Amino acid sequence: MSSIEEFLQRTRDRDITLADTTPNSIAMSTRIRLARNVADYRFPKWLTEQEELEIERQVRHALMDTYQELNHFALSDIAPLARHVLVEKHLISPHFMKQKSGDLLVSEDETMSIMVNEEDHLRIQCLATGLQLQETYERASKVDQVLEQQVTYAFDEKLGYLTSCPTNVGTGLRASVMLHLPALTMTNRMNIIAQTMLRLGIVVRGIYGEGSNSLGNIYQVSNQVTLGKSEVTILTELQEVVEKVIESELQARQALVKNSALMMEDQVYRALGVLTHARILTSDEAATNLSRLRLGIDMKLIDLPIKAVNQCISCMQPGFLQYYDGQTLPANDRDILRAKLVRETLQQAI
């Protein structure tokens, strides 16, 4: 069994949420998360150390025959910087990152991760590129079924799956799609769209989910209601809303080109100039300019491989910078290293 250091070295250039290189890929990735708890145990916050270990053993035993390729890591063995990288790869939650104990099971291709003893006993998560809600749900559901053959879940006939947070009771399903929406942001329409979606039971969050900010005009759109709706209904409603948002983004892009073509082209090439020549880049500045560059590629204003932009988005994150540099860095040193990596990546692609 490999260590977390070996795993992160093998997967250094891999981020499933940034792997889609399809032209005009507004939907960058899909995530399905299922919250489950083991019957006859208290929720994780009140578990004893012995009870935590019992649940972790149950889960590993239930999964390892079917999913032998899973990497297993004890959270207590994962250093802070490595945890930060796992959050940036969307393999663990910011909440899990801060815990003292827990278990992580993750596939080699990073399309599946299971957090044990997070906010709930089980957080089953599957990731995919682009907009693939149904396909991704089916993979998560298969993992869920394998577990349920050997683990008895906390389930109520009227309420459904019982969870530590009332907002997850019912299906325990949280489906989300990561969207790149620069045109809607530039035209100041995101607030109105977010308010409209909220009335439909859909919530808009930042790139790392609840409590995070939008970085580089990337938003996470997910269902808010898990009780009183079937899994099929939740997925269908989210699919419909996401498709409408994508359509709105495309229309906003067309309007920008029609009304402000030269300004758009100027912004794209200014972004390229900054990213290929700057010696110091903050997270916000890098994200903003990479978003403009990605938009320019989508709109055929500039000829660059989208893969290079995705690599820059991945390597500009604070955790990545520090982990692969092998040390904790002050903000200014991170900004210098970020500029160097982004500059080198793009110059190789030009």
**Mean per-residue pLDDT, 138-153:** 98
CATH code for the domain of 38: 3.30.590.10
Distance separating alpha carbons of residues 41 and 79, to the nearest angstrom: 28
Residue 24 DSSP class: T
Query: Would you give the end-to-end CA distance of the chain in angstroms?
Result: 40
Instruction: Indicate if 178 and 294 belong to the same structural domain.
Output: no
Instruction: Indicate if 205 and 342 belong to the same structural domain.
Output: no
**Confidence (pLDDT) at 252:** 97
Please indicate if the annotation marks 208 as binding a ligand.
yes
Q: What are phi and psi of 117, to 5 degrees?
A: 65, 50
Which candidate, 70, 69, 76, 35, places its Cα nearest to that of 52?
A: 76
**Confidence (pLDDT) at 215:** 86
Instruction: Indicate if 303 and 341 belong to the same structural domain.
Output: yes
Please indicate if the annotation marks 136 as binding a ligand.
no
Please indicate if the annotation marks 176 as binding a ligand.
yes
| 285 vs 13, more confident | 285
**Confidence (pLDDT) at 250:** 97
Please indicate if the annotation marks 33 as binding a ligand.
yes
Please indicate if the annotation marks 178 as binding a ligand.
yes
Given a contact cutoff of 8 angstroms between Cβ atoms, the answer to whether 75 and 102 are in contact is: yes
Please indicate if the annotation marks 31 as binding a ligand.
yes
Instruction: Indicate if 217 and 227 belong to the same structural domain.
Output: yes
Instruction: Indicate if 230 and 83 belong to the same structural domain.
Output: yes
Share of the chain above pLDDT 90, in %: 90
Instruction: Indicate if 276 and 142 belong to the same structural domain.
Output: no
**At which of 249, 266, 285 does a domain end?**
249
Instruction: Indicate if 238 and 317 belong to the same structural domain.
Output: no
Instruction: Indicate if 38 and 69 belong to the same structural domain.
Output: yes
Instruction: Indicate if 85 and 189 belong to the same structural domain.
Output: yes
Which candidate, 231, 337, 226, places its Cα nearest to that of 286?
A: 337
Confidence (pTM):
0.94
Write out the residue range of the structural domain in which residue 290 sits. 250-349
Distance separating alpha carbons of residues 320 and 165, to the nearest angstrom: 31
Which candidate, 288, 276, 273, places its Cα nearest to that of 347?
A: 276
pLDDT tens for 154-205 read 999 999 999 999 999 999 999 999 999 999 999 999 999 999 999 999 999 9
